[in-house]
Amino acid sequence: MKETVIAWLKSGANAQEGIRLMEQSGVSSLTLRLVRSNPSGNKRMMVAFLCKKYGINQEFTANWKETEITFSRKPKSFRDEFSFLNDKSCPVELEALASRKFSRYHTYVELHSQLHDCTNLNQCASVSRQLIDNYIENRMIWDELNYYQQNKTLLGKHPIFNEFKRRKELLGLPIKELVKRQKQIENNIWRVTNELNKGDKPHLDIERQERLSSYKVELEEVNRLLE
């Protein structure tokens, strides 16, 4: 019966059908007489009764528009959807991706706002490229989380897995090698930054930005270890 009521809600909660459902659900004769006197005007009462009767009120939200009702299932929270993130056994890479997911969302909102404020084609192209990059990484994060949820094993295609692998390698290096690596990364950052500033090969910008981001992350880790 619960599924029947849910189907009724999702189809718009027809008043006459609601009366029939209430009657089948054992509503008192007095209440039934009341809703029959004005079916459309008593939709709220029908919905309230049936939702309470079958425990549906916590699963659906309602948008009321005079006598028309639209129902939709409440979206799960991020932590509810990927409940494994609350487990102690959750891989640290996925915890980091979950945090990055929220960061990418806020970046998307900001970039979308900037897109509306663009004043020239170059600015539009730059913001659009960043939006696309942000979207691609967001999808990669979803792929990793969904894959783990379904298979209980890591997909491992997101660049963060290489970052963690490199971090483990750095932990095993002596101080002398860390200092050497620090200088090398700084030179790499300088070189890639210059390549980007030249703007002579825009088709390589995405790859260069990815390398630059990776170098900066690694440099932060090296500096942290040296401190």
Number of compact structural domains in the chain: 3
Q: How far apart are alpha carbons 115 and 210 in whole angstroms?
A: 22
Tell me, yes or no, whether 81 lies in a domain: no
Say yes or no: 141 and 186 in one domain.
no
Listed residues 156, 185, 205: the one ending a domain: 156
Using one digit for the tens of pLDDT, what is the confidence trace for 71-81? Answer: 555 556 777 88
Q: Is residue 27 part of a domain?
A: yes
Q: What would the mean pLDDT of 125-149 be, rounded to a whole number?
A: 87
Would 42 be classed as within a structural domain?
yes
Query: What does each C-alpha distance from 34 to 9, 10, 40, 66 come to in angstroms?
Result: 20, 24, 11, 19
Residues 6+ apart with CB under 8 A from 225: 170, 171, 178
User: What pLDDT does residue 60 have?
Assistant: 54
- Residues 120, 135 within the same domain: yes
Residues 225 and 182 placed together within one structural domain of the fold = yes
* pLDDT tier, 27 (very low <50, low <70, confident <90, very high otherwise): confident
The rounded distance, in Å, linking the Cα atoms of 63 and 70 is: 5
Judgement on whether residues 142 and 168 belong to the same structural domain of the protein: no
The per-residue pLDDT for 72 is 53
Do 139 and 116 share a structural domain?
yes
Q: Is residue 84 part of a domain?
A: no
Same domain, 172 and 227: yes
Asked whether residue 63 carries a pLDDT value surpassing 60, the answer given is: no
pLDDT over threshold 70, residue 100:
yes
Q: Is residue 79, in this structure, part of any structural domain at all?
A: no
Q: Is residue 78 part of a domain?
A: no
Domain boundary among 45, 73, 101: 73
Domain end marker among 46, 73, 100: 73
Average model confidence (pLDDT) across the chain: 81
Whether residue 82 is contained in a domain is answered as no
Q: Is 221 a domain residue?
A: yes
If asked whether residues 145 and 171 sit together in one domain, one would say no
Domain interval for residue 197: 159-227
Work out the average pLDDT over 170-175: 89
- Residue among 219, 224, 143 nearest 183 (CA): 219
Q: Are residues 69 and 99 in the same domain?
A: no
Radius of gyration of the chain (CA): 28
Indicate whether 6 and 50 sit together in one domain.
yes
More confident residue, 92 or 38: 92
Tell whether 133 and 191 lie within a shared domain.
no
Confidence check: pLDDT of 14 > 80: no
